[in-house]
Structure 1
Amino acid sequence: MVKHSENIIVGVSIGDMNGIGPEVILKTFEDSRMLEVCTPVIFANAKIVSFFKKTFNLTANIHGIDKLDQLVLGKINVLNVWREGVNVEFGTLDDAVGTYAIKSFQAATQALKNNKIDVLVTAPINKYNIQAENYKFAGHTDYLNEQLEGDALMFMIHEDIKVGLVTDHVPIQEVNKHITPALLEQKINTINETLRKDFRINKPKIAVLGLNPHCGDNGVIGKEDAEIIKPTLERLFKKGIQVFGPFAADSFFGSNQHAKFDAVVAMYHDQGLIPFKTLSFGEGVNYTGGLTKIRTSPDHGTGFDIAGKNVAHESSFREAVYSAIDIFKNRNEYNELTHNPLKISASKE
């Protein structure tokens, strides 16, 4: 593998090919400047990627390979994960296409585990048509949590706002059953460490939203905030983590309180993602924190309604690539600085 200071190998899973994933991938790397900072490897099939390139009138050259040790720096590499043709019908929910999305994702994950690629960026999948005998996960995060070391965290990131979730793809009627001191501690600890290691924030300040309206109004609208969340935050604060709350979620973002903190912890999916996407849509990134490997993705879905029309914008996918690269560099630097701090300190004297 090349020196990481020179070029970072970015693995890319193709996503649902009936959606906008292939379009935003190719539009991102159509810009030759991207190839100066990374070498992409798309896990798919060279013929189908050539089809997408022609469909969207793109000119970037692709380089088909059968093994990862054949990749060429400065090229858009396409690893042939399968050989057969795939029937693409843009905007259509298709179980067969879903199986290829998972083939791509699983092959890319394996390459990440084996250090054949440095980071993974995933194009959007459809949670319905990916379900199969060998894949029974709600999305990317749960599978990565099983395959990689660590405790996965759904962490939405943007220059101006970062939101971590205590629960992610959980039905709203079941959320309160998952809010336990143990899970809260795990997620907040993960966010704190992620901010320190991956974003180089020395002493992160973390805000936590309440579960119930008005944080339960002293038990009138639920007791979880007073009996579970608040005591857990007080315990973590005493341990040295700069965590504050719980804050009433309805006014927190509108009053710009999020700007005072390095990250915000939401109790459930929409509580965190609605304000995040409202404030950052098109530039936000979904980062799976807490794992030993790095994976990012754009903040949007498959976009079936605009698929194949050549109108999808690549900004969020491009930001996902940039974020993966930045996090990779930050983590390597952090590991180097903390591996033997006494030796580093002595060398400076």
Structure 2
Amino acid sequence: MVKHSENIIVGVSIGDMNGIGPEVILKTFEDNRMLELCTPVIFANAKIVSFLKKTYELTANIQGIDKIEQIVPGKINVLNTWREGVNLEIGKLDDTIGKYALKSFQAATKALKENQIDVLVTAPINKYNIQTEEYKFAGHTDYLNEQLDGDALMFMIHEDIKVGLITDHVAINELHKYITAELIEKKISIIHQSLVEDFKINKPKIAVLGLNPHSGDNGVIGKEDDEIVKPSLQTLFKKGIQVFGPFSADSFFGSNQYKNFDAVVAMYHDQGLIPFKTLSFGEGVNYTAGLNKVRTSPDHGTGFDIAGKNIADNGSFREAVYSAIDIFKNRIEYKELTSNPLKKSTAKV
């Protein structure tokens, strides 16, 4: 049986408190209709969150708790992840605030692993000030990949476009070390499974962008597309995955070819995220596919330049919450349908 929406517990990591994270979180849950969809739990400190609520002149109903078991439906629960006071200089990069962002994220991840929360939505962090001797990850995704079961994949999602990445936070001059047939086949298989299980698409069509300009122009501009990418796609197609390409990345989005597919696979970060954010900014969501738990985040960063001005748009964070809830429910439905082969599937064809 699918879990009732109001019982879905959405864990929220506070992100960098000097950025726009707290603002977009509180603006999202200030809308009482959100509290009818789920029960939010922010991993932070109730006094700090109350201070930030006043800073942004919001009326959200804050409920401080010390244990998950104390959650109150219909309120914004703040789990006291630390007790001490913290000095905020909103809009400024601060190593100390980075450490609290890490505390929040790690506590929320632990709660997710232990099934104390159903899904995790992460507010933006700064990749520089979150680094410690123990935490040397480029962002949320790599840490979640270590802590949870499965193979993490950055999947940018929107109602009109979905973009998955073969590589994510990899320097351009290092790409050639990562683009292998094994990696391509693994990542596309994850995307295919996510489309089926998380988005209820029975027979997804997947487009793949070429690594080199014009997909190599038959070897004139690099041989990787002919020697690595094309054979990998042929292997996947023989296994029943409807994958097509490689397509020349420069014209693929401008010609609206992406509309013919359920997802697009990019070879590297900016190749996929520049067109994705251009087409969906403010409504896009960063989803970590391939793991046994659901995690989403907004498609923007800490926004230090506008933090504290009460002008941040919470649209992407709100969509991240919606997406996490939908994916969580779709996974439950998928398990029910596949555990009973006689049950008629309602998945989109």
Is TM > 0.5 for Structure 1 vs Structure 2? yes
Q: Give the residue type in structure 2 aligned to 1:305.
A: D
- Residue 143 (1) aligns with residue 113 (2): no
Alignment gaps of 5+ in structure 2: none
3-state SS of 2:200 partner: coil
| Aligned residue in 2 for 1:52 | 52
| Aligned residue in 1 for 2:9 | 9
Distance 1:40 1:50 in 2: 15
| Aligned residue in 2 for 1:26 | 26
Listed as ranges, the matches of 1:170-189 within 5 Å are 170-189=170-189
**Structure 1 residues 3 and 222 mapped into 2: Cα distance closer, same or farther (>3 Å)?**
closer
Distance 1:233 1:268 in 2: 17
| Aligned residue in 2 for 1:83 | 83
| Aligned residue in 2 for 1:127 | 127
- Residue 288 (1) aligns with residue 324 (2): no
The answer to whether the 8 A contact 1:7-1:36 is kept is no
| Aligned residue in 2 for 1:319 | 319
Q: What is the CA deviation profile of residues 288-339 of structure 1, one whole-angstrom value per residue up to 9, with x for unaligned ones?
A: 0000000000000000000000000100000000000000111100011111
Q: CA deviation at 1:157?
A: 0.1
Distance 2:344 2:280 in 1: 39
Alignment gaps of 5+ in structure 1: none
> Which stretch shows the higher mean deviation, 81-90 or 194-203?
81-90
- Residue 197 (1) aligns with residue 158 (2): no
**Structure 1 residues 127 and 5 mapped into 2: Cα distance closer, same or farther (>3 Å)?**
closer
| Aligned residue in 2 for 1:308 | 308
Q: CA deviation at 1:18?
A: 0.5
- Residue 99 (1) aligns with residue 99 (2): yes
Distance 1:317 1:161 in 2: 17
The answer to whether the 8 A contact 1:121-1:324 is kept is yes
Distance 1:146 1:248 in 2: 34
The answer to whether the 8 A contact 2:63-2:77 is kept is yes
Distance 2:314 2:3 in 1: 28
Q: Give the residue type in structure 2 aligned to 1:258.
A: Y
Distance 1:311 1:159 in 2: 25
**Structure 1 residues 343 and 285 mapped into 2: Cα distance closer, same or farther (>3 Å)?**
closer
Q: CA deviation at 1:176?
A: 1.8
Q: Give the residue type in structure 1 aligned to 2:107.
A: A
Distance 2:218 2:54 in 1: 61
3-state SS of 1:199 partner: coil
Q: CA deviation at 1:7?
A: 2.1
3-state SS of 2:312 partner: coil
Distance 1:175 1:17 in 2: 33
CA-atom RMSD in angstroms? 1.2
3-state SS of 2:54 partner: helix
Q: CA deviation at 1:175?
A: 1.0
The answer to whether the 8 A contact 2:6-2:39 is kept is no
Distance 1:160 1:3 in 2: 27
Q: What is the CA deviation profile of residues 13-63 of structure 1, one whole-angstrom value per residue up to 9, with x for unaligned ones?
A: 000001000000000000000000100000000000001000000011100
Q: Give the residue type in structure 2 aligned to 1:33.
A: R
Q: Give the residue type in structure 1 aligned to 2:160.
A: D
**Structure 1 residues 229 and 3 mapped into 2: Cα distance closer, same or farther (>3 Å)?**
closer
**Structure 1 residues 311 and 251 mapped into 2: Cα distance closer, same or farther (>3 Å)?**
same
Q: TM-score, normalised by structure 1?
A: 0.97
Q: CA deviation at 1:73?
A: 1.0
Q: What is the CA deviation profile of residues 48-98 of structure 1, one whole-angstrom value per residue up to 9, with x for unaligned ones?
A: 000100000001110000000010111100000000111111111111000
Q: Give the residue type in structure 1 aligned to 2:137.
A: F
3-state SS of 1:341 partner: coil
Equivalenced residues, count? 344
3-state SS of 2:151 partner: strand
Distance 2:340 2:3 in 1: 21
3-state SS of 1:265 partner: strand
| Aligned residue in 2 for 1:336 | 336
Distance 1:6 1:64 in 2: 19
The percent identity for this pair of structures is: 82
The answer to whether the 8 A contact 2:17-2:88 is kept is yes
Q: TM-score, normalised by structure 2?
A: 0.97
Q: Give the residue type in structure 2 aligned to 1:325.
A: I
Listed as ranges, the matches of 1:198-213 within 5 Å are 198-213=198-213
The answer to whether the 8 A contact 2:5-2:38 is kept is no
Distance 1:260 1:344 in 2: 27
| Aligned residue in 1 for 2:245 | 245
